[in-house]
Structure 1
């Protein structure tokens, strides 16, 4: 690839920014962008994308759960598909870049490549996944999870309900998806590339333009319950108390101390705290809190969790309270393909861009593809590290830089005659077995 012409890439970047602005309009009224799975706003946004894809000359289609695709057919028969994209849904009162940037960039990249170089050797597809955030229903990665086989066909759709009691299947039916019988599951994806805002502060703080993701961190979530004895705050001596809140507070501080000592990339958080009876003049008798612990290496993540929970037991015994722990989530780390990381570094250097290797502490659709095919993630900076907020912002120049890196990698994967970064079909099938 001789490199995109400056004027052409600027035009493509302008088109991407326009598409981002148009997508942001599909939102419920209120601050920020709210576009939840299978709501009218979500449905209208996906229909808008289908029309936009058709107008661009790409082949447009949607699958049974509402994932929207734009296809640029290749000239070689057989082999695998190079897939790129992100998700269309948002959190409540979220920003306009999380997910949507990757969708807008992927469609723009395919349009640019088609206009500049014609048909690729290998099929390229852009995707707008139906859901990733888990903001409406008690599940995540519904879009990419149906593509990769995380969810069995239709499994749980009648039992999974939102806060108003609507089942997932009912919500799908209201969007007109009940008549679709084509499967979302795919076994033809040989590579997946996702461009995303960092949702953190490291790129901005270190002055780097591009983040080359090494891995998406594994995650453990626990629900912890500490039980003591509720008693009168004025008549119970300090030495005779079984204070559940004091014990829980010591556990939270222990978690923070050990996490700081462990160092990056481990992070650990007590996120939600509930106190019973939660009144001013009663010693707390029961406290429930959540743990969120993440690390890019599975063995270290599991060992840290085991050690911390054992230490919690020691705190409970010393303070005369009981502690019980329920594991709520166990997600393994997802390493990105080393060969694609190497390609991204080469692209950044050839384009004169500053870059850094980094771990993603947040979850992404890419983590579902990583065990199944060659996968890469590209980050661009987030101002002040803010995301999932109306204040989420990345400058047009930074967004354009990510687009240009994405275009170069897709050219490498789709247009070059010899490319070891793409699995042969037999190897690809083994990965999806």
Structure 2
């Protein structure tokens, strides 16, 4: 039996009941009731298929279809089960239910694999409830810091540790990783952008996840009367900001794809109509798949910012508070996924990911591949987030044949 769009829709509708909100969106935050109910429901679903299931210390869930060859290791798939607040029904959980459906059909068609086949429902990736991201995948490798979460709280003042303990989980404390014997990992995910849709492709094979640098930039000039202060005597932070944005964006366009540059937020003081602005803080987000190009470009922009501030007699402070290196996917995994797409006659392209995913934590430690399916109008983190079922089907078919090649 082939995978059908009806089966995909049924399983997706079923899991989406856990955290569904009144707007039709999804809110399933780490260590909440809806999160716990979803994990327990997935555990039951995996066990119905004959999988062995277990949670790790922090709430990552693994379902394993045991292979026939002892010591052959595990091929794993999956993604994160948490959502943003009022998000969509695909981000994260598509990778879980897609992995489950693929393994289910492999088992029904070919019986047990040689290697173990596993699907992971990773506890958290989004950082939507607490100011901590990749808590789930980092704990799979013992690289999460207890100190970072020990004293943090959510917006309602609930402590991270209290929420975790209430769900019956605690820190790992040396417990074995759910990925201890894993030989390869594949993540299915929505694109969260519009490249595949614009190019009329149903599947994206990811060759790497971009590196990111994020900045807070502080400008201090002199607030003064808007009517009486001549232009040549001003120390106007907005003039500096405008020059920086204009010239930096032009430089980014000159470098070209896949470099992206975003000035996303600005706060100005005193922020009134008749006063020359004297202080500002703004943000800058820069991403590229090549670490050297990313570093070279940001160095040039930092020098540009200093130069423009000096021209207007404005003080500047530049704080680069995030510096994530690009993460390439494994070449052999890319080749296996591409071979699967060709054999299935799927409509695919090779591309990079401009957003972060659990695979960026896993890939430096286990050979990893990623498969994208299109997002309609590029919308994500929104109740309108959606993908055509026929495209989801192609993504799961690519995943199914990839798992077959790796585990059978």
Q: Give the structure-1-normalised TM-score.
A: 0.90
2:58 matched to which residue of 1?
65
Q: Pick from 327, 340, 349: which aligns with 1:334? A: 327
DSSP-derived class of the 1:342 partner: helix
Q: What residue number does 1:90 align with? A: 83
Q: Deviations over 1:379-418 (max 9, x none)?
A: 1111111111111110111111111110000011111xxx
What SS class does the counterpart of residue 9 from structure 1 fall into?
Answer: coil
> What is the DSSP-based 3-state SS (H/G/I as helix, E as strand, rest coil) of the residue aligned with 1:172?
helix
Cα distance between partner residues in 2 of 1:309 and 1:184: 44
Q: Which residue of 2 aligns with 1:99?
A: 92
Partner of 2:307: 314
Cα separation, 2, equivalents of 1:57 and 1:15: 19
Query: For 1:184-263, what aligned pairs fall within 5 Å after superposition?
Result: 185=177, 186-263=179-256
Match among 100, 103, 115 for residue 110 of structure 1: 103
- The corresponding residue for 1:30 is 22
CA distance in 1 between partners of 2:27 and 2:176 (Å): 25
User: 1:184 Cα deviation (Å)?
Assistant: 6.1
Establish whether residue 18 from structure 1 lines up as the match of residue 19 from structure 2. no
Aligned to 2:166: 174
Q: Is the 8 A contact 2:218 2:282 kept in 1?
A: yes
1:143 aligned residue:
136
Distance 1:263 1:34 in 2: 36
User: Contact (CA 8 Å) 1:63, 1:182: kept in 2 or not?
Assistant: no
| CA distance in structure 2 between the aligned counterparts of 1:265 and 1:88, rounded to whole angstroms | 29
Q: Which whole-Å CA distance do the structure 1 matches of 2:22 and 2:223 have between them?
A: 42
Give me the whole-angstrom Cα distance separating, in 2, the residues matched to 1:235 and 1:398: 62
Residues 187/53 of structure 1: CA separation in 2 closer, same or farther (3 Å cut): closer
Q: State the match for 2:260 in structure 1.
A: 267
Instruction: Say whether 1:8 aligns with 2:2.
Output: yes
C-alpha distance in 1, partners of 2:384/2:213? Answer: 28
User: In the alignment, is the contact (CA less than 8 A) between 1:250 and 1:315 conserved in 2?
Assistant: yes
1:65/1:184 contact within 8 Å kept: no
- Runs (5+) with no aligned partner, structure 2: none
Helix, strand or coil for the counterpart of 2:263?
strand
CA contact (8 A) 1:220 1:330 kept: yes
Is the CA contact 1:64–1:182 (under 8 Å) kept in the aligned structure 2?
Answer: no
Match of 2:404 among 407, 411, 414: 411
CA contact (8 A) 1:344 1:409 kept: yes
Where 2:149 maps in the other structure, the secondary structure is coil
SS in 2 for 1:194: strand
Q: CA RMSD in A?
A: 1.6
TM-superposed CA distance for 1:62, in Å, is: 1.1
